């Protein structure tokens, strides 16, 4: 389920500030649980299988401040899947504390933008109407392109 639906529910139940705080806590806890489960299940397997690929090997070897900056930066990018970042971080040498802090701090800007967009739509303000029109145009354009390819 996309996080936007959960963020919308949180905002609806707890208000804007409360909903954002609940969403940030939920994202942080979810990332930590995933990190722990991945670490238990995949760390040894991944380290054995990806040693031959230099880019993945480098990602698995990063630690400390460099790991913090890498994870933080990847969390800021909207098109990098969070699960993939968590998976590779858990498979490497990144500590729990570095992962938790970098992951949480990196997700805050994206969550704030998401929450504001959802709030604007829920309040049916001018920015909310613009967001919905942009989404509708994007959906129509995507559908038209898919139909044209067939």
- Is residue 127 situated within a structural domain? no
What residues make up the domain containing 53?
3-122
| CA pair distance 118, 124, nearest whole angstrom | 10
Residue with structure tokens 């990806």? 50
- Please check whether residue 134 lies inside any domain of the structure: no
- Residue labelled with tokens 């040498």: 93
Reading the block at residue 93, the tokens are: 């040498």
The Cα–Cα gap between 123 and 95 comes to: 41
pLDDT in tens, 91-126: 888 899 999 999 999 999 988 988 988 888 888 878
> Whole-angstrom Cα distance, residue 78 to residue 55?
21
Q: Please give the radius of gyration of the chain, using alpha carbons only, rounded to the nearest integer.
A: 19
Question: Do residues 3 and 83 make contact, with C-beta atoms less than 8 angstroms apart?
Answer: no
Domain membership flag for residue 72: yes
Residue 150 lies in a domain: no
The total number of structural domains in the chain stands at: 1
- The answer to whether position 142 is within a domain reads no
Which pair of structure tokens corresponds to residue 46? 């991944």
Tens of pLDDT, residues 14-63: 999 999 999 999 999 999 999 999 888 876 676 566 556 565 666 677 88
User: What was the pLDDT predicted at 114?
Assistant: 85
Residue at 145 is within a domain: no
- The pTM of the full predicted model, rounded to 2 decimals, is 0.71
Nearest to 46 by CA among 38, 35, 37: 38
Is 147 a domain residue? no
């Amino acid at each position: 389920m996309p996080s936007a639906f959960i963020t919308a529910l949180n905002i609806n139940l707890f208000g804007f500030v409360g909903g954002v705080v609940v969403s940030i806590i939920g994202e942080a806890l979810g990332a930590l649980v995933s990190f722990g489960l991945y670490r238990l299940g995949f760390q040894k397997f991944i380290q054995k299988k990806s040693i031959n690929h230099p880019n993945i090997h480098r990602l698995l070897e990063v630690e400390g401040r460099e790991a913090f900056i890498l994870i933080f930066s990847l969390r800021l990018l909207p098109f990098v899947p969070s699960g993939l970042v968590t998976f590779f971080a858990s498979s490497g040498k990144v500590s729990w504390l570095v992962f938790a802090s970098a992951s949480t701090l990196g997700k805050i800007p994206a969550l704030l933008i998401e929450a504001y967009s959802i709030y604007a739509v829920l309040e049916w303000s001018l920015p909310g109407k613009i967001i919905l029109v942009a989404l509708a145009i994007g959906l129509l354009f995507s559908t038209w392109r898919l139909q044209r390819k067939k």
